[in-house]
Structure 1
Amino acid sequence: MEAIVSAIASDFVNRFISFLMKKCGSQQNLETKMERLQNLLLKVHMIVEEAEGRYITNSKMLLQFKKIVKAMYQGYHVMDIIKHRTLCGSRHEEENAAIRHDQLQNTLDSLETIASSITEFVFLLGGCERMSPKPYDTYLYFDNFMFGRQMEKQQVINILLQENLLHFSPTVLPIIGPTRVGKRTLVAYVCNNEMVRSHFSSILHLNGENIRKMECESFSKKRDLVVVQFTADTDDENWKKFYASCTHMGRGSKIIVVSRIERISRFGTVRPIHLNSLSHEEYSYLFKVLAFGSTNPEEHPQMVSIANELSVLLGGSFVAVNVFADIFRKNHVHLWLHVLKKYRKMIRKNFSEFKEHPKLLLDKEHHIDITKLASSSSPLHLMPPNCEDNQSKRSLTKVMFSDFIADSVVIPKENFELVTWESRIPPYRKFVNIVSNYDDEMNFHHTEVPHKKRQKLDK
């Protein structure tokens, strides 16, 4: 009997020692790979930052640049997930360890492939002209809509600086994308670029509704850039008359048309540039950089967990990422949790009522229910956002979104304006929503909501 007990005990001890050695070896292997990933990301990010400050005119280099940027953000995302899981631990540690190693190995393989073929890209990059740094590119680089879009920025600048295919027929570049993905901000960035400004005598901004009023006398004989914002489709005859007037502009003039309507791209003489929401990896990176600021995320694993979940819940909204990051930067973990719980409830409420995510509803110009975001006894519906005109005057009470979600303001009993976000860079848009405060569904349907005013793009 003693021999059997001794054998069982010996086998148990051997298995336990083997388990500890395997776990220790696995942990050491994970740490080694994480260090390799960190070093690769440092190298790749350095090249990305250098490329962002150069004029890249080679289309194949731009495609390579896009791949490098994508791999970089995937790398940061995986590194962040693994660090968080390692810090927080789990009841399914062995299963999670296998997942971590697989994710890490795949990411390492992808980055090492990129790094091994990057030599030619770096060599060619040395021959590209440097851009003049702008104040908001450096100091406020992440605190605005200009995050990412490296390839699109370069493409627009390249097209604007090229000669027209037909010397006296302006090139027409369509920029198409859903609402609030940064189309107008991309245009504002390009129009503020030093080379673009020096290339054109003037930059004229128009609304699509006004093109029928434009005559050839409206344009100078110099090389100009015309930006037309379309909020609705227009018939071909109106466009033909407008374009004919534009042919009286100087040689090398260009036209940019901006719209969320895909059909507008038919007016283009070159391929349209399509803007879409950022990938989840890019969006998550942006949110955490904005939310944590100078704070080290590794010192706040609970906040990282909240930020990871919220970056998914926000659905890729540029406005929301700035709003929530601004709130989080000034507050502690208790508010982060408070906001996360509210946002979860709000999303569940809208899925239950409208069967869609709030961001998608707003993109379709549909109202959303935000009752769960506020301490209010009466239901609240947020109407689709609009850009407030500097000259518009309304009698409704204004409420800042940061105060609204933090419960630091008394909710008005009547309809009010919710100031969601004010952009700090051109075109300095202020996102304003009307909130309908109603006690029953009948009152809601009969509520008069002021018509949206589209902000005119001015240089």
Structure 2
Amino acid sequence: MVSNMTEFVLLLGSCERMFRGPYDTHLYIDNFMFGRQVEKQQVMSVLLQENLPDPFAPAVLPIIGISRVGKKTLVAHVCSNERVRSHFSSVLHLNGENICKMEYDEASIPAGPGRTLVVVEFASDIDDESWQKFSSSARRMGRGSKIIIISRIEKLTRLGTVRPVRVNSLSLEEYSYLFKVLAFGSTDPEEHPRLASVANELAVLMGGSLVTANVCADIFRNNQNVEFWLHVLNKYRNVVASNLSTFREHPKLRMERDRRIDITKLVSTSTSAPLHLMPPHCGDDDSTRGLPKVRFGDLIAGSAVVPKEEFELVARESRIPPYKKFLNVAKFSDQLKSSRRQHRRPSPSNKRQRLD
């Protein structure tokens, strides 16, 4: 009995500690991952266990969730865990396009006795033949290697060999708590009930958007004035109403679907035409180089000079791995109409075909 208890205590000592507080977990000053303890444990459990029944066939773990919900942040924190870092000799980051274009020779996938963790991000689906070539090549990796798939595409769960981990939006209670922690900083919300009331109402309006929460929290933390907070609340209330009226969808839902969002009501000065936020793009997109840049927080706070033509809106730059930049192009409605006409304009070859 004593021997069994000793083994049990040793076993518990080797396990990662779980935190009792559901909100304080992973809450650090400035750089933090909020919550996600359950999801983190699920991912780590897969990464640290043996591949069965074939130890040389890498287990494939899909991590699925809507846009901008924190999938890559979750993986980054798992990869930075000391147990995971010591378990794998190397970590390889790829995207779906890489896989489709790869030549599967001996140099394309690392081979050797050490375990390799491959993280693949998919923006679109992949055909089964391309995936089969990749997974066959991945068998050359060391025993116990793993593959993580990151995507918002539910169909990609078919590629998994283990149960997928789904990263969902935070509950309203969690989201509201997180927003107030970010917005108040070191200030106690209970000492400012009017500000806390505004924060609670705004948390409901934002619909769980982590990007919007961070943008608003940044400007609130630097200006804890009730009138200013109410001004921002009214702005965002009008934005939500405008999108519900025009598109019959909440801005958060349109963001998840990569649809343009009407942000005219965020601009303090009157504009000649409605202003729309276009779907996000990569920071190295050549098509947006040279555009004027405006910080989203400055636009909301009313401290930005709005360009007369399209511009790049910098929503935020993540302070935690993978340090992602959230960028969108803002266009006025007359520019949208002009670009649509250009896309619809037939090419000279098409004109000749019709004339012939």
In the alignment, the residues of structure 2 paired with residue 351 and residue 447 of structure 1 have an alpha-carbon distance, to the nearest angstrom, of: 29
| Amino acid corresponding to residue 203 of structure 2 in structure 1 | S
Unpaired segments ≥5 residues, structure 1 = 1-50, 57-61, 77-132, 449-459
Residue 323 (structure 1) shift? 0.8
Partner of 2:104: 215
Question: Is the Cα–Cα contact under 8 Å of residues 288 and 312 in structure 2 kept in the other structure?
Answer: no
The alignment status of 1:266 with 2:153, answered yes or no, reads no
1:257-286 superposed Cα distances (whole Å, 9 cap, x missing partner): 111000101011100000110001100110
* Among 443, 449, 453, the residue aligned to 2:338: 443
CA shift in 2, pair 1:349/1:447, >3 Å: farther
Structure 2 regions of 5+ residues with no counterpart? 1-11, 344-356
Aligned counterpart in structure 2 of residue 188 of structure 1, from 32, 57, 76: 76
- Structure 2 equivalent of residue 87 of structure 1: none
Q: How far did 1:405 drift?
A: 1.0
2:180 — aligned with what? 288
Q: TM-score, normalised by structure 1?
A: 0.66
The structure 1 residue matched to 2:317, chosen from 416, 422, 440, is 422
- 1:191 Cα deviation after fit: 1.1
Aligned to 1:353: 246
Question: In the superposition, relative to structure 1, how do residues 377 and 391 fare at CA in structure 2: closer, same or farther (>3 Å)?
Answer: closer
Match of 1:147 among 31, 34, 40: 34
**What is the one-letter code of the residue matched to 2:235?**
K
1:290-312, Cα deviation, whole Å (9 max, x unpaired): 11111121221111110010000
Indicate if the aligned counterparts of 2:27 and 2:34 stay in contact, CA closer than 8 A: no
Paired residue for 2:46?
Answer: 159
Which residue of structure 2 lines up, in the alignment, with residue 236 of structure 1?
A: 128
> How many angstroms apart in 2 are the aligned matches of 1:268 and 1:280?
30
Query: 1:98 aligns to what?
Result: none
1:55 aligned residue (11, 16, 23) = 16
SS in 2 for 1:436: strand
Return the offset for 1:157.
1.1
Determine the C-alpha separation between the residues in 2 that align with 1:327 and 1:228: 35
2:57 is paired with a residue whose SS is coil
Counterpart pick for 2:262 among 349, 359, 369:
369
Alpha-carbon distance change, 209 to 158 in structure 1, aligned in 2, over 3 angstroms: same
1:41-98 Cα deviation digits (max 9, x unpaired):
xxxxxxxxxx9xx616xxxxx8xx8xx76xx66xx9xxxxxxxxxxxxxxxxxxxxxx
Match of 1:307 in 2: 199
Q: TM-score scaled to structure 2, two decimals?
A: 0.85
Aligned residues: 323
Say which SS state the counterpart of residue 147 (structure 1) adopts: coil
Tell me the secondary structure at the aligned position of residue 302 of structure 1. Answer: helix
Quickly say closer, same or farther: Cα 1:428–1:447, change in 2 above 3 A: farther
Partner of 1:398: 293
Aligned amino acid, residue 436 of structure 1: K
Q: Would the aligned equivalents of 1:436 and 1:447 in 2 still touch at CA under 8 Å?
A: no
3-state DSSP of counterpart to 1:386: coil
Q: Deviations over 1:190-241 (max 9, x none)?
A: 1111111111111000011111315251222231000111100011111111
- Structure (1 or 2) with the larger CA radius of gyration: 1
Alpha-carbon offset, residue 359 of structure 1: 0.7
Contact 1:387 1:429 in 2 (8 A): no
Matched, 1:178 2:66: yes
Structure 1 residue matching 2:316: 3-state secondary structure: strand
Task: State, as a whole percentage, how many aligned pairs show the same letter.
Answer: 60
Please state how far the C-alpha of 1:175 moved relative to its aligned partner.
Answer: 0.2
Match of 2:57 in 1: 169
Q: What root-mean-square deviation, in Å, do the aligned CA atoms of Structure 1 and Structure 2 show? A: 2.5
CA distance in 2, matches of 1:199, 1:438: 53
The CA distance in 2 between the partners of 1:361 and 1:421, in whole Å, is 18
Give the aligned residue type for 2:97. Answer: E
How has the CA–CA distance of structure 1 residues 303 and 242 changed in structure 2, closer, same or farther, with 3 Å as cutoff? Answer: same
Look up the equivalent residue of 1:155 and give its one-letter code: Q
Structure 1 stretches of at least 4 aligned residues deviating more than 4 Å after TM superposition? 390-393
Which position in structure 1 is the counterpart of 2:349? none
CA change 1:446–1:432 in 2 (3 A) is farther
The residue type paired with residue 95 of structure 2 is N
Q: CA deviation at 1:355?
A: 0.2
